Amino acid sequence: MRASTLFAVALAVFLGLGVVAAAKYSGIFNPKTPPAPPPKEKLKVLVAAKNLFEGYTILRGDVRVRDMSDDEEKQYLEHKDRYLAPKVEAGEMRVLVRSVEADQPLLREYLEDINLPKAINRRLSSDKMRAVNISLPIARAAGGLIQNGEHVDVYLTTRVGVPGRTDGTITQTAAIARNLKVIVKRNMLWPMMAPIDAAKPIDYTLEANPYRAALIQFASTKGELSLVPTASPQESNGKSGRAVVPPSQSDPSSKEYVDEDKRISEFVSGERSVGEADLERIFNLKPINMPVRIEKYYGVDYHGTQTFATNGYGLARPTTSEPAYGYQFSPPPPAAAAPQ
């Protein structure tokens, strides 16, 4: 074999080995496994971020969005119409009709129909009732724990005095209205759960008849009002969902309420006003024995004094059907600060 032929064969073998080595190192003989497909994205669901309670409004922070579990996804695919959109905004300002545990999906049937809350006039039992608002520190409102729908008695604590006299002034408390329903708390139409700030007063709106509503407004300028919770009366009237207002608010068994219908009628018709005389009746005050002293003179000679008892009947009376004896009512002095 000639040298040129041998050289050509050797060169071909060398090039072949180079090609084989290059192919081996490039992975041609060991093809790579194709990458696995990305995992299927999980469906999202709106759930309670904490325990939520029937009757209250969902606020920001009360709900969150998370991945569905396999069981939840199965339920969702069968009943998509029961689920809210997986957005926090879908649950905000909705009112619950049942309590929901933390991390439980929030379904449409757990919520009232989306709507604005009832206006105050729709919360009144009838057009014969009125809404009266008072603002109280928590110490005079059962620690601020009174809720919407509860019934309360309204107490007035006032300082009772006689005009022209510095002695004999006393501080007394009396109930000026009974069994009034709380229809709004914190001046918020939405029912919400919120912490109580002991340093700030709490506002309550109460349902009362026109006369008692005016009496509460007047009494708030004469002393300190307090709310005392009482047992709620039975007040179902079937389909309307409103409380039943009795046809008569007079109570023959009560000295204070025996003429209630007459007071309401006179106040609404403008024939009556509310004033100190009403408080004198409620506090069961008696006529004032205010003596009149007369100095006696014969000519220019002084002959002493003589005293006459007037029993208070000579005092001016306000425009009201109640007897007025002339007592004065004022807020009691502030309590002394507790020692540090």
- The helix (run of H) or strand (run of E) holding residue 281 is helix 276-282
User: Which of 242, 258, 282 lies at the terminal end of a domain, its last residue?
Assistant: 282
pLDDT number for residue 238: 47
User: Which of 89, 110, 131 lies at the terminal end of a domain, its last residue?
Assistant: 110
Whether 125 and 83 share a structural domain: no
Our count of domains for the chain comes to: 2
pLDDT number for residue 316: 37
Is residue 229 left, alpha or beta, with left meaning phi > 0 and alpha meaning psi from -120 to 50?
beta
* Distant-in-sequence, close-in-space partners of 297: CB < 8 Å, separation ≥ 6: 303
Residue 11 phi, psi (nearest 5): -65, -40
Whether 199 and 278 share a structural domain: yes
pLDDT number for residue 240: 43
Whether 106 and 128 share a structural domain: no
Query: Average pLDDT by consecutive 10-residue portion of the chain (340 residues)?
Result: 64 65 62 72 93 93 93 92 94 94 95 92 93 95 92 95 73 95 93 86 96 96 95 59 68 92 94 93 81 67 61 41 71 63
d(CA 290, CA 312): 6
Q: Provide the CATH number for the domain around residue 80.
A: 3.90.1210
Whole-model pTM over 0.85 = no
| Residue 303 placed within a domain | no
d(CA 286, CA 324): 10
pLDDT number for residue 196: 85
